[in-house]
Structure 1
Amino acid sequence: MQDIEYISNARPKRILIIGGGASGLVTLRNLRERGNFDEVQLVERRDDVGGVWYLDDETGEAPRWPSPAYPGLIGNVLPEFLSFSAFPPFPEPPSTATGQPFPSLAETHAYLRAFAAPHLSSGAIRLNTEVQVVEELPARAGWRVRMQRYSAAEPEALEEMWDAVVIAVACYDHPVFPPTPGLARLRELGRAHHAQGWRGPAGYERKRVLVIGNANSGNDIAAQLAPVAGAVYQSVRRPNFPGFPSLPDARVARVAPVAEYTVDTSAHTIDARLADGRTLHGLDAVLFGTGYHPFPDFVRVLAGGRDAPTLEPLVSHDTAPPRVPHLHRYTLYARNPALAFIGTAFASYTPFPLADVCSAWLALAWAGEIAYPTTLPRLLEFEAERLAAVGAARREMEVAAAGAGEPGTDEGTGQGKTEASALVAYGVLGPFEEAYASALRADVVQARPELDAVLPVWSAERTAAREAMFGAKRAALELAREREGGRE
């Protein structure tokens, strides 16, 4: 009989959190206030907290990691679903009175900054500190963290040892580009750009631009280009997911997926051959709203067996499907539960509350108040079940697509005939969000009944209310267009 590896529940005393966005900040609060740890600190490489919601001026001599947000960004989640537990609710935006109830980039950053204020003043948050490597120590003795601290003087190299580490950075360092023939050449020439660097339509006046993707970024970019560009095309692989509302615009032509790019060297323009046989000629630029890849490439874990362990990246480009692998409930690294991740699962309805309940669960698990499996096979069951469920759903969609005659597009729209299968992925919770979050919440409340009154709730009723946000967003877009005199 094969031996089963026993992995005891982690009981760290000193914990480092990496990342000062919403996930990292609420994790810091929950570990400090709901745990029983000796020391909890957070490091953030930028000069302020807020993560993607902090849009700095991108100037100065220190290294910069710009936010993928852009000026004028308006969120798609209502304030009630952005509020943290046991903290004042997210304030209603002033624009609510005029029919725009969704908070702006600046308003969201202000809320996160207020939430972080006591932790900044106490010294629990260190800014301008970039984590370069996290290395697992043998015999589950902790983690070595190598960092670089930036200040007015020379950068300072740091090396620290921590009992446990929480990775609370998302995936915005690693934009996804589709593997379309000819794209590599466009990127070499600087003619293909990702939404990660979008800062508005200035510079695209009278240009012919192709936008790839119809999620939030692609839709926003196309809408911002429409009034200024000479021509805007939006390449759409599948119909819009309801969570990414947008309005039709006669100035934006929706077209089929791109099969190949070529460069007209004489005219210095781009041709895009589409999957339906058409070709778009004379393009000046191609902009990609095609998402990001979860890739914490700075994490090194022990592999190779007990006799000759070696440090290897936790995630590689060969990890399939793309994900942070070996996570119990999207949170604990199964092979060493003193490593945790918050924010690896995408929740379109409740990004802030989900990070809140996940990190509350983590605080009590590491404090010994919530038990979790102690053998590797059981710790890996969650991942295996989710992968199987997602795989089955994707296969069903492939069968449906084949029956509908895919590949192909609906005439006049450029849209495919099936649902948005790119969103049926391991890291996207979708319909699983309610069951997943409710189960974590139940564990927390069983350990700490007093938290029942403050933690966010997931239920069929609340899910329906969250899904109603999509209609509210569309109504806000329609009202804004009407006031601006926009055209269909």
Structure 2
Amino acid sequence: MQGVDIPNVRPKRVLVIGGGPSGLVTLRNLVERGNFHDVQLVERRADVGGVWYLDDDHNAPNAKPTSAAPRWPSPAYPGLIGNVLPEFLSFSAFPPFPEPISTISGQPFPSLSETHTYLRAFASPLSSQGKIRLNTEVCTVEELREQTGWQVRMRRWNLDGSAEDFSETWDAVVVAIACYDHPVFPNTPGIAQLRKLGLARHAQTWRGPDGCQGKRILVIGNANSGNDIAAQLAPVASAVFQSIRRPNFPGFPSLPDPRIARVAPVQQYIINQLDEVDVVDAHLTDGTVISNLDGVVFGTGYCPFPDFVRVFNRADTQQTLVPIVTADTIPSRVPDLHRYMLYAHNPTLAFVGTAVASYTPFTIADICSTWLALAWTGAIAYPTTPDGLLAFEAERLAAVAAARKEMEAAPSGTSDQRQTEASALVAYGVLGPFEEAYASSLREEVVKVRPELGPVLPVWNQEQTAVREAMFGRKRAALELARECERKQLGL
């Protein structure tokens, strides 16, 4: 089976799933840079923008809901400021991202609302062409035999909460969703009881520190979410603890704060009662115990888990349909993808922005979907056997395993510390230092067949990589400036 030749596919009708940044730029690039008969995008929420769209219930928590349809909240929160500069949020062949209003005060990173406004403007012409369907939930995507397409079962939601189920068949499907439906919790003993009692929450549902006044809160993690949540809690909670397994990754800058106590990893959670109220005791790996916690907030990330996509089980002669990814997929990833995009066993299925994380996700999605548009129109060739298509994944998995092994072997103190030294960010789906090589190779293939795109496409080279990495320092400087402004306002 692995040696069977699969000619490069030439689909005519393509469905894009997901109306966030990756889905929107994929739609535009398929429409304008391919030669397809029909390209459409479906989004289950009431507006485009993905994580950058907060609905009315977020912006005004006490407001009466405007719709009885299900809600899929964004994990973002009011007041969120991004970590990516406008130049890396700008889509090719579209007006650049406007300079943030806060730039005049030294804060060069755009707000949540500014980013959503840009995405809506980008989507507007596509929407006016009838290319975008909102309030349309994709329930399943199922592979058809003989590579004859994909059956997509959907549900159209009405404002009154009623829905109509329907099914469509498409030649090809692009899954361009983020993975915020599947938050990751550690398997620390006691965490199940915390969740059952409502004492644990994930960054996915964080909406700010309201209700935490005077509380004792433990925050798990020191990536962007963990750092932001701890900083928001510091002025209002009576005590804030931040549990950290390893030193802060350079891409997630944060400032030391005397109101935030950084502590060791948690070994076990135990539920106790204080004045007939459930509280948490966190037993740490260094032997200390933090007692009488009112709650624990987990900034521990998300799992790529588009299990609504069902493909044939190639090991089964009956070719039964199975989820493309399960909880048993090790390491955690969307498996069997060529260049994080094409499904090796049936290249009419593609992923953009779902299977990979990067410093600059907007521009990565732009170059990936441009490459995909040209690959599906026959301008760019790719391997024609499953073995050839799977080689990319095998090479990346081996490279990541070697990097993790090297990290774990590096001297870092005690043996326990060595075992956790390999960051969770050293993973198959995280581009990290590989971003420049990955994106520049895609760009090179695109420009070779479409040289007119060269002047408008984003660039990856050593100079631009240095600019991307310098964003971390600029973010830290912006945080320091914001703190100084806060102190002045308080007369400190």
Structure 1 match to 2:414: 405
Match of 2:320 among 290, 293, 310: 310
1:406-443, Cα deviation, whole Å (9 max, x unpaired): 425xxxxxxx8985611100000000000000000011
Q: Distance in 2 between matches of 1:229 and 1:77?
A: 29
Structure 1 match to 2:430: 428
Instruction: Output the amino acid matched with 2:413.
Output: A
Q: Distance in 1 between matches of 2:180 and 2:243?
A: 22
Structure 2 match to 1:46: 45
What SS is found at the alignment partner of 1:443? helix
Structure 2 match to 1:159: 167
Instruction: Output the amino acid matched with 1:18.
Output: I
Q: Distance in 1 between matches of 2:239 and 2:422?
A: 26
| Residue 346 of structure 2 is aligned to residue 336 of structure 1 | yes
Match of 2:293 among 262, 275, 283: 283
Match of 1:183 among 186, 191, 194: 191
| Residue 249 of structure 2 is aligned to residue 241 of structure 1 | yes
Q: What is the CA-CA distance between 1:221 and the residue it aligns to?
A: 0.2
How has the CA–CA distance of structure 1 residues 142 and 258 changed in structure 2, closer, same or farther, with 3 Å as cutoff? same
Q: Distance in 1 between matches of 2:116 and 2:421?
A: 33
Structure 2 match to 1:300: 310
Q: What is the CA-CA distance between 1:332 and the residue it aligns to?
A: 0.2
How has the CA–CA distance of structure 1 residues 267 and 34 changed in structure 2, closer, same or farther, with 3 Å as cutoff? same
1:95-146, Cα deviation, whole Å (9 max, x unpaired): 1010111000000000000000001111100000000000000110000000
| Residue 236 of structure 2 is aligned to residue 228 of structure 1 | yes
Structure 1 match to 2:62: none
Structure 2 match to 1:14: 13
Number of aligned residues: 479
Q: Distance in 1 between matches of 2:223 and 2:108?
A: 20
Q: Distance in 1 between matches of 2:223 and 2:116?
A: 22
2:340–2:356 CA contact under 8 A, matched in 1: no
1:349-384, Cα deviation, whole Å (9 max, x unpaired): 211010000000000000000000001111000000
Match of 1:174 among 175, 182, 190: 182
Instruction: Output the amino acid matched with 2:244.
Output: V
Tell me how large the CA RMSD over aligned residues is: 1.6
What SS is found at the alignment partner of 1:70? coil
Q: Distance in 1 between matches of 2:214 and 2:285?
A: 26
1:297–1:313 CA contact under 8 A, matched in 2: yes
Instruction: Output the amino acid matched with 1:225.
Output: L
Q: Distance in 1 between matches of 2:123 and 2:104?
A: 28
Q: What is the CA-CA distance between 1:347 and the residue it aligns to?
A: 4.3
Q: Distance in 1 between matches of 2:72 and 2:361?
A: 22
Structure 2 match to 1:254: 262
1:353-372 equivalent positions in 2, closer than 5 A: 353-372=363-382
Q: Distance in 2 between matches of 1:12 and 1:393?
A: 38
Q: What is the CA-CA distance between 1:94 and the residue it aligns to?
A: 1.1
- Structure 2 gaps of 5+ residues are 58-64
1:97-116 equivalent positions in 2, closer than 5 A: 97-116=104-123
TM-score by length of 1: 0.96
How has the CA–CA distance of structure 1 residues 37 and 236 changed in structure 2, closer, same or farther, with 3 Å as cutoff? same
Farther-moved stretch of structure 1 (153-162 vs 233-242): 153-162
Q: Distance in 2 between matches of 1:420 and 1:119?
A: 43
Q: Distance in 1 between matches of 2:419 and 2:17?
A: 41
Q: Distance in 1 between matches of 2:319 and 2:444?
A: 38
Q: Distance in 2 between matches of 1:404 and 1:386?
A: 29
1:400–1:418 CA contact under 8 A, matched in 2: no
What SS is found at the alignment partner of 2:247? coil
Q: Distance in 2 between matches of 1:31 and 1:433?
A: 23
Q: What is the CA-CA distance between 1:10 and the residue it aligns to?
A: 1.2
Structure 2 match to 1:327: 337
Instruction: Output the amino acid matched with 1:361.
Output: W
How has the CA–CA distance of structure 1 residues 192 and 370 changed in structure 2, closer, same or farther, with 3 Å as cutoff? same
1:15–1:165 CA contact under 8 A, matched in 2: yes
| Residue 160 of structure 2 is aligned to residue 150 of structure 1 | no
Instruction: Output the amino acid matched with 1:314.
Output: I
What SS is found at the alignment partner of 1:88? coil
| Residue 353 of structure 2 is aligned to residue 351 of structure 1 | no
TM-score by length of 2: 0.95
- Structure 1 gaps of 5+ residues are 409-415
1:154-189, Cα deviation, whole Å (9 max, x unpaired): 301110000000000011000000100000000000
Q: What is the CA-CA distance between 1:8 and the residue it aligns to?
A: 1.5
Q: Distance in 2 between matches of 1:39 and 1:305?
A: 33
Instruction: Output the amino acid matched with 1:425.
Output: A
1:185-200 equivalent positions in 2, closer than 5 A: 185-200=193-208
Structure 2 match to 1:412: none
Instruction: Output the amino acid matched with 2:40.
Output: Q
1:67-82 equivalent positions in 2, closer than 5 A: 67-82=74-89
Percent of residue pairs bearing the same amino acid type:
70
Structure 2 match to 1:90: 97
Structure 2 match to 1:374: 384
Structure 2 match to 1:411: none
Structure 1 match to 2:61: none
Q: Distance in 2 between matches of 1:246 and 1:327?
A: 35
Structure 2 match to 1:117: 124
Instruction: Output the amino acid matched with 1:290.
Output: T
